[in-house]
A = this chain, B = another copy of it.
Amino acid sequence: MNILEKITQHKQAFSKSERKVAEVILANPQIAIHSSIAALAKMSDVSEPTVNRFCRRLDTKGYPDFKLHLAQSLANGTPYVNRHVEEDDGPEEYTKKIFESTMASLEVARQSVDINTINRVVDLLTQAQKISFFGLGASASVAHDALNKFFRFNVPVVYFEDILMQRMSCMNSSEDDVIVLISHTGRTKSLVEVAQIARSNDATVVGITSKDSPLAKECNLVLSLEVPEDTDMYMPMASRIAQLTLIDILATGFTLRRGTKFRENLKRVKDTLRGSRFEKRND
């Protein structure tokens, strides 16, 4: 709670000398946070203990603690909020809004994600014979990204954008295979069917999707992200970023589980790419 507001509210409850202190602080808080109790007492024309008592009356432990609260109030406290883009926003506004909304959504996602499930999914992935990532529409690019990540791990990984290929792939799946299905809404019919096919072949189905959705019901494990959908622009934005971050987390968990030796392998994969690149000059 903002301490500057608190001071103005409390103003009546202060004594005469304490009010003097309040005036000085409100007049110029920036100077106050950089002053010692002695300096502030002099400015307010009161004694030092009075300033201390003033601080205590605001439920702080003493002067240093009060300064801390004051500093926090002054720090332009604009936490990221999901603000929608408006019709007449200029580039500056919508850029800012989209960045902030994205960060706000990630914060929400972070709090809603279930660590336990993540751990279990990582477990499954490390033990899988084959890993498949499927998504449709906007979620296809998320699956695509997952392919990229897991491909580097030198494990059999599969990705199809085509619904028929997805179905065929699932029909040929077996017990030790893990199928990761990505869908924000979890209501895409064909993806639900893919899940059913995979299940009937005893493959393990992991859903990165909305809780309690039709798709979620068909999955062995569900990683749900409670990201507020951005309805304004009619295209998924934040949800997708959250999904990607989740993929990053799974990939990280995967490498950690595999140990140091495995990561040396990763470095080698990266080094291989060097040939196809322009060297970075160090001048």
A6 at interface (Cβ–Cβ under 8 A)?
no
Which residues of A pack against B, CB within 8 Å? Answer: 33-34, 64-65, 67-68, 71-80, 85, 87, 89, 91-92, 94-96, 98-100, 102-103, 106-107, 109-110, 113, 115-116, 118-119, 122, 137-138, 140-142, 144-145, 148-149, 152, 185, 187-190, 192, 214, 233-235, 237, 240-241, 244-245, 248-249, 251-253, 255-256, 260, 263, 266-267, 269-270, 273, 276-280
Once the chains are docked, how many angstroms separate the CA of A155 from the CA of B253? 40
In the docked arrangement, what's the CA distance between A145 and B235, Å?
11
B256 x A87 contact (CB < 8 A): yes
> What B residues does A149 contact at CB under 8 A?
138, 235
Q: Which of B102, B148, B190, B235 contacts A276 (CB 8 A)?
A: B190
Count copies of this chain in the complex: 2
Q: How far is the CB of A158 from chain B (nearest CB, A)?
A: 15
Q: Determine whether the beta carbon of B85 is less than 8 Å from that of A189.
A: no
| Complexed CA–CA distance, A100 and B80 (Å) | 13
The answer to whether A252 and B75 have CB atoms under 8 Å apart is no
19 further A-B contacts with Cβ under 8 Å, apart from A34-B68, A96-B110, are A64-B67, A73-B75, A91-B116, A98-B249, A99-B106, A99-B249, A102-B245, A103-B103, A137-B148, A137-B273, A149-B235, A187-B277, A187-B278, A187-B280, A189-B278, A214-B278, A233-B263, A235-B270, A244-B244
Interfacial chain B residues near A260, Cβ < 8 Å: 87
Q: Which residues of chain B come closer than 8 Å to A102, judged between CB atoms?
A: 106, 245, 248
Q: How far is the CA of A96 from the CA of B107 in the complex (A)?
A: 10
